[in-house]
Structure 1
Amino acid sequence: MTTLRTHVEAFIDEVWEPDKGHLLILHEEINHLEQLIQNLREVSKLEETELILNKSYFNISNEIQKIVQSFIPLFKKDNYEINFKIEPDISVLMDKDKYRQIMYNLISNAHNFLNKNGKISVDLSKQANNIIIHIEDNGIGISKNDLPHIFERYFRSKTSINKQTKGSGLGLSIVKSLVETHNGTINVKSTLGKGTIFTIVFRLE
C-alpha cells in the first residue's frame, strides 16, 4: 500500500512521469495486495467449523498443464525456466478451484525464491491409488531451523526476509490446510542455497 501511495502521489505532484517502469511497479503491488486479500479470505473460510468442498471429477493432468503454462510468461520475463513432466489422463474427484489454489500458491512461492538461472520443475504421476505431485526448485532453499515452521500461519523464514520477498506468511499455511482437507499430505525437503522440493500425495477416491 505504501508503494502505491508513494507512486500515485509522485504522479500527482509531477515528480515522476507515468512511464512503463513505474506502472509495472504499481501493477506488481496491486497483484500482491490482491493475493493478500485472497489469502485473508481463505484463512477466514478455513477458520469456519467445516470447509465445504465442491468436488467434481476432472482431468488433473490437463489441469496441471494449464496451470504451469499460465506461468510461462512470468518466468520468461524474469529469465527463469519452468518445466513439467505429467503422466497423462489421470482423473480425480476433488475441488478443482481449491486444487488450482494449491498449485498457484506453491509455484508462486517457488518463483519468489529463485535466483539467477532459476528453474522449477513440476511432476505429476500415479502410483497405485495415489497421485504424487513434486514441485522442485533450485532457489535459495530453507534453513534447518526454519523448515519445521514454514507451514505455520504468518511465519516468514529469515531467507525470505533477507531476500526482501513480499509475502504475508499465509500461502503455505493455506496450502497445507487445503491439502489436508482433501485427506492428502504435503512434505518438504530443502537445502539452504540449493533449493526445495514439495511433495503432495492425494489418495484416489
Structure 2
Amino acid sequence: MAIKAVVFDFGGVLIDWSPEYVYSRLIPDATERRWFLDNVCKMEWVVQQDGGQTIVEGTAELVAKFPEHEALIRAFYERWQEMLGGVLEDGVALVDALEAAGVPLFGLTNWSAETFPYAWERYPVLQRFREVIVSGRVGVVKPDPAIFTLMRAEIERHLPGIAPHELVFIDDNARNAQAATALGWHGVHHTDAAHTEAQLRALGLAV
C-alpha cells in the first residue's frame, strides 16, 4: 500500500482559530460566555455560513431569534479577524516534511467564502496546496460525503486513477476524519502534531 496524496483541513490543524479570542473580552464571565457560544453563536450557526449562507443573512437570522444579544451576535463577524491566532507551527512543519518528501498536498476546509480570502492573503501556507476546496464556495460542508467527492475529483485531475485507500485526510474534527474513513480514505483525527506524525509514519509517509 502506498499513500499518493495527503489532504489537510486548515482550522485547528494549520491555523489557530477560536471565538474565545473575541468573546473572552466581550463576556468576561466564563460561564456566561460558554452559554452564549453553546446556545447563540454556536458552531451549528457558524457552519451555515461555512456552507454558503451569507454573513448578512446569517446574522439577521440570529438577531431575529435573539434580539437581546444583537450587539454580541454582530460582533462575531465584525470582529472575526480577531479570532485568528496565526499559524500553528507544528502543523506547518508537517506540510514542510511532506512537501520535502514530494507528497502531493491538497486542502479541504469548512470556511465561509466571505472570510476565507482574509486568511488566504495572510497565511502563505494555505497557498502551498495543489488544490483547495472551501465549503462556502461549493455550498456543502464536511462531513457530508459530497464534499469529499468534490475533493477527490480535484485530486484526480492531478493524479488520474487515484484510489480512496491512497488518500490521507487530516482534520481536527473527529466526525470529519471518520467520514473520510467511511469513504475508504485514511482519516486522521488531528489532536496534536506528534500523534498525527506517528499515524502518517505508520502509513509509510516520510515525516
TM-score normalized by structure 1? 0.24
Q: Which has the higher strand share?
A: 1
Larger RCO: 1 or 2 (CA < 8 Å, sep 6+): 2
